[in-house]
Structure 1
Amino acid sequence: MNSYSINEFINKTGPKARPREVFGLQSERILEVDLAGEVWAKIGAMAGYTGNIAFERERALEHGVERAFKKTFTAEGQDLMKASGRGRLFLADQGKRITILDLDGQRLTVKGEDLLAFEPSVEWNIEMMKKAAGVMSGGLFNITLHGQGKVVITTYFEPLTLPVYAGEPVFTDPAATVAWSGDVKPEFHTDINYRTFLGRGSGESIQMKFEGRGFVIIQPGGSK
């Protein structure tokens, strides 16, 4: 067959077989949802679908007064949409790499912009990092998910997971930090000296510090 033919292109780029579970990867950058009920996803992430699926923006009080208050007054937590019905739903986020994680009772905190989708069985809340230095980095609020079900995150390029051990803290760039496990304690760490104020610092004056036991997921790209 002609390698440049339309039929060859369709064969190479057409949908794969349905995933065995609710979430499956059509490619590293396209998530397929085998929908038979509902899922929550990042608003604007729908790339295409087949079947009978309806989309509804998260209502103001759908997840309780406390979370509505946080979203209103922090502009954080990522707007969500509920996809419901039956069909094949394809989700993507600006070509970012997609990773599916099964919580299996564990707790995971994700930056709102890096959360693509999660099953309705997953519990979630918006968490605030209270240290004042966070204001300078624009990273005060994150989404903590826990319980049973799958969560889908996105990263720029290949993610790297750094283990955190007791007494051996891990430091990361806030813009490169994607998610971390529930057993580590994050805080903002500053490394400001006179060179910083003279404009001769390295540009890495604000960092995230993780202590405890667990892991941190970072990415090689992200907005500064």
Structure 2
Amino acid sequence: MSEQSVQEFVEQTKKREAAKDTFHLETDRILEVALSGDLWAKTGAMISYTGDVKFEREGLLEHGASRAFKKTFTNEGSELMKASGEGNLFLSDQGKKITILDLQNESIRVNGNDLLAFEPTVDWDIFMMRKVAGMMSGGLFNILLEGRGRIAITTYYEPLTLMVEPGKPVRTDPNATVAWSGDLEPEFRTDVNYKTFLGRGSGESIQMEFEGRGFVIVQPCFEGTMKE
């Protein structure tokens, strides 16, 4: 078992130099945000902050009646909080790996459980995958993010990006699917012969099929299977 002095530990784990960008990875699993104004983040993701920062849950009509209705209809568990003020904010989500993406007039759809934070310049909307609402507990919802600005997504362990090309569809397990190109519209296929009544039964009996041109990001662990 390795040993180290308190001073050695402090030096190894202490905060690095101040972030130059708004979003900065302090570690692979901790996002530092140089806050100057507002930020939207997953409720409960704040682990620490410095400066003058205030937090409030997303109001029912914060983003309009339409989105409020969707959140109620889909029973979305990943509520948003708004951080406002000046300071440094540190975010994390169950120790998951964090990836920062800089949208340049692009769009991406992210699984609702895998969106950690995004800048207020990014436009967004919630979409329910109605075709599988009755197939999987709680159904599935994703968040479309588009425009310009930084977003942070989370994955269990290292993510893998699969390229989708015309005539070469990519099929994924819904619980392992993190994000995909904003213009891809997945279809859902079921394998009625798969033995899903024994054991846990994951998503192998239901697959997401992506056709066209773009990308799909998957993670090597099913959402909801990791325990504290």
Q: Give the structure 2 partner of residue 166 of structure 1.
A: 166
Q: For residues 1-56 of structure 1, give each alpha carbon's deviation from its aligned partner in whole angstroms, at most 9, with x where no partner exists.
A: xx722111111111111222100000000000011111100000001011110001
Cα distance in structure 1, aligned partners of 2:181 and 2:206: 21
Cα distance in structure 1, aligned partners of 2:76 and 2:9: 41
SS in 1 for 2:210: strand
The question of whether the paired residues in 1 share the 8 Å contact of 2:74 and 2:128 is answered with: no
The question of whether the paired residues in 1 share the 8 Å contact of 2:119 and 2:149 is answered with: yes
The unaligned stretches of length 5 or more in structure 1 are none
Cα distance in structure 2, aligned partners of 1:144 and 1:111: 9
- 1:2-151 equivalences under 5 Å are 4-76=4-76, 78-131=78-131, 133-138=132-137, 139-151=139-151
Q: How far is 1:77 from its partner?
A: 6.5
Q: For residues 177-218 of structure 1, give each alpha carbon's deviation from its aligned partner in whole angstroms, at most 9, with x where no partner exists.
A: 00001132212111113x547759x85111111111000000
Q: For residues 37-81 of structure 1, give each alpha carbon's deviation from its aligned partner in whole angstroms, at most 9, with x where no partner exists.
A: 111000000010111100010000000100000111211272000
The question of whether the paired residues in 2 share the 8 Å contact of 1:77 and 1:142 is answered with: no
The question of whether the paired residues in 2 share the 8 Å contact of 1:137 and 1:174 is answered with: no
The question of whether the paired residues in 2 share the 8 Å contact of 1:54 and 1:85 is answered with: yes
The question of whether the paired residues in 1 share the 8 Å contact of 2:196 and 2:205 is answered with: no
Between 49-58 and 5-14, the greater mean CA deviation after superposition:
5-14
Q: How far is 1:135 from its partner?
A: 2.5
The question of whether the paired residues in 2 share the 8 Å contact of 1:19 and 1:34 is answered with: yes
The AA in structure 1 aligned to 2:76 is E
The question of whether the paired residues in 2 share the 8 Å contact of 1:161 and 1:216 is answered with: yes
Q: How far is 1:98 from its partner?
A: 0.2
| Paired residues, number | 219
Cα distance in structure 2, aligned partners of 1:65 and 1:36: 27
TM-score, length basis structure 2: 0.91
Between 114-123 and 9-18, the greater mean CA deviation after superposition:
9-18
Cα distance in structure 2, aligned partners of 1:75 and 1:197: 25
SS in 2 for 1:72: helix
Instruction: Report sequence identity in percent.
Output: 59
The alignment yields a C-alpha RMSD, in angstroms, of 1.8
Cα distance in structure 2, aligned partners of 1:220 and 1:197: 20
Please identify runs of 4+ aligned residues in structure 1 that moved more than 6 A: none
Cα distance in structure 1, aligned partners of 2:13 and 2:143: 34
Cα distance in structure 1, aligned partners of 2:142 and 2:207: 16
Q: How far is 1:219 from its partner?
A: 0.1
Q: Give the structure 1 partner of residue 155 of structure 2.
A: 155
